[in-house]
Amino acid sequence: MSFDRSIKIAPSILSADFADFGREIRAIEAQGADWVHVDVMDGHFVPNLTFGPPLCKAIRPHIKTVMDVHLMISPVDQYIDAYADAGADVITAHLEAGPHIHRTLQAIRGAGCKAGLALNPGTGIEQIDYLLDQLDLICVMTVNPGFGGQKFIHSQIDKVRKLRAMIGDRPIHIEIDGGITPETAPLMAEAGADVLVAGSAVFKGGSVEQPEAYGANIAAIRAAAEAARVK
């Protein structure tokens, strides 16, 4: 089977009701989410604190799709096995999180997960050349990591275009994280992205009692992206 470059919507549970993760996850999946994005923050690499491995383990049985764990932590290596044991399918670490990213990516695959590499908005793509064989996903941050609900940084469109050309036929996903809406999603789909993370734009206006709003939000992002996607 050929590599799946279709548009995938990955709601970030950073925008979910923190007192009700199980129902929130079941609701977004029932409403069309392709992946579930889990934003892990350490209060050191980024100025915010979120989810540890036990929380990931607790929500894992509710996820029927893909558990996409975004580690905004430094150091990262000593926590990889714990997030893999918690059931992550994809683990993404930041290029900026430490001096030995090659080792980090090896460790992620060694733990049985797909390996992702995230790039902050200020980071170039030069170092990726020698990492391509280690990668299953590249996450282009379109906000500075740490918080949901920030404004999309347009300069990253050009980065995605260059990355897409660099990747060629390799089976590597390009994921976009931050400020994705029905207005910004097509810009990234056109540039070559296939996984779109969205927190605020998926959860706005909905709840577990009114999950149809999640469905409408996901559908609007997907439709806008698919219309612009490079076939």
Q: Which of 5, 70, 159, 173 binds Zn ion (CB under 5 A)?
A: 70
Q: Tell the smallest beta-carbon distance from residue 195 to ligand DX5 (Å).
A: 11
**Whole-angstrom distance, CA of residue 137 vs CA of residue 148:** 21
Judge whether 17 counts as a catalytic residue: no
Between the alpha carbon of residue 173 and those of residues 3, 138, 160, 161, the distances in Å are 9, 6, 11, 13
Q: Is 70 annotated as a binding residue?
A: yes
A 10 A CB-CB count for 126 gives: 7
Contact partner, 34, from ligand DX5, Zn ion, none, Cβ < 5-8 Å per class: none
- Tokens 């918690």 locate to 86
Residue 160, helix vs strand vs coil: helix
With DSSP H G I counted as helix, E B as strand and the rest as coil, what are the percentages for the chain, rounded to 5?
Answer: 40, 20, 40
Sign of CA dihedral 97, 100, 103, 105: positive
Contact partner, 186, from ligand DX5, Zn ion, none, Cβ < 5-8 Å per class: none
Contact partner, 31, from ligand DX5, Zn ion, none, Cβ < 5-8 Å per class: none
What distance separates the 2 farthest-apart alpha carbons in the chain? 48
Q: Which of 39, 42, 68, 194 binds ligand DX5 (CB under 6 A)?
A: 39
Of the residues 34, 39, 42, 194, only one is catalytic, namely 39
Site for Zn ion in 176-215 (CB under 5 A): 177
Judge whether 81 counts as a catalytic residue: no
| Residue 214 contacts residue 28 (beta carbons within 8 Å) | yes
Site for ligand DX5 in 74-113 (CB under 6 A): none
Q: Which of 70, 94, 114, 159 binds ligand DX5 (CB under 6 A)?
A: 70
Counting contacts by CB under 6 A, is residue 143 touching ligand DX5?
A: yes
Q: Is 6 annotated as a binding residue?
A: no
Of the residues 34, 42, 136, 177, only one is catalytic, namely 177
Q: Which helix (H) or strand (E) holds 40?
A: strand 35-41
Contact partner, 146, from ligand DX5, Zn ion, none, Cβ < 5-8 Å per class: ligand DX5
Q: Which residues are annotated as a binding site for a divalent metal cation?
A: 37, 39, 70, 177
- Catalytic annotation, residues: 39, 177
